[in-house]
Amino acid sequence: MLETFYAALWSISPFGEAKVGLPYAILNGVNYYIAFVVCFAANVLVFPLMQFFLHFINRHFLRWRFYKKSAIFVARRAKTGAGKNVQKYGFWGLLLFVMMPIPGTGVYAGTIAAFLFGLEPKRAFAANTIGIYFSCVIVWTATVLAVEGGA
């Protein structure tokens, strides 16, 4: 039970998201399907939390030089990574960006990119959720195949 909780924390964390939470859970003996559901749900929760942060808390923190400098750095990285795809393809570009299970792509960067490019929050949430789902399927499948030794 505790391992499931830790997996959910990894899935909410910007340091790994479900890309780390799923393998952590499976390698620590959590049921494969429970691991998928918990990590996916935890990763989906990031979007509303980030939206709240970006819309309400961010503007108060921008007064501090260190935060502003860090925020600009993160915004530039999100724009660079997702910029052309999100700007050109909107919903589909964001979905594909979030779907890739590689470092630097995911719901945190996707939410920031959607915010910067002014995507409608409902469409951005849908793109992030679908992208997270497919990313979780890829990571889950790879991890289960590695654990079971099948290919």
Instruction: Identify the DSSP state of 109.
Output: H
Query: Hey, what are 139's tokens?
Result: 């990571």
Residue 150, pLDDT score: 63
Residue 141, pLDDT score: 95
Cα separation, 7 vs 110, in Å, equals: 21
Residue 113: give the domain boundaries.
2-148
Report CA-CA distances (Å) from 135 to 76, 103, 132: 23, 12, 5
Residue 151, pLDDT score: 55
In sequence order, the 6+-apart residues with CB closer than 8 A to the CB of 8 are 21, 38, 39, 41, 42
Q: What is the number of structural domains in the chain? A: 1
Residue 41, pLDDT score: 96
Instruction: Identify the DSSP state of 57.
Output: I
Instruction: Identify the DSSP state of 120.
Output: -
101 near 135, Cβ under 8 Å?
A: yes
**What's the predicted TM-score (pTM) here?**
0.85
Q: Tell me the pLDDT tens digit for each residue of 22-73.
A: 999 999 999 999 999 999 999 999 999 989 988 888 878 888 888 888 888 8
**Dihedral (Cα; 58, 52, 3, 38), 10-degree rounding:** -150
Residue 43, pLDDT score: 94
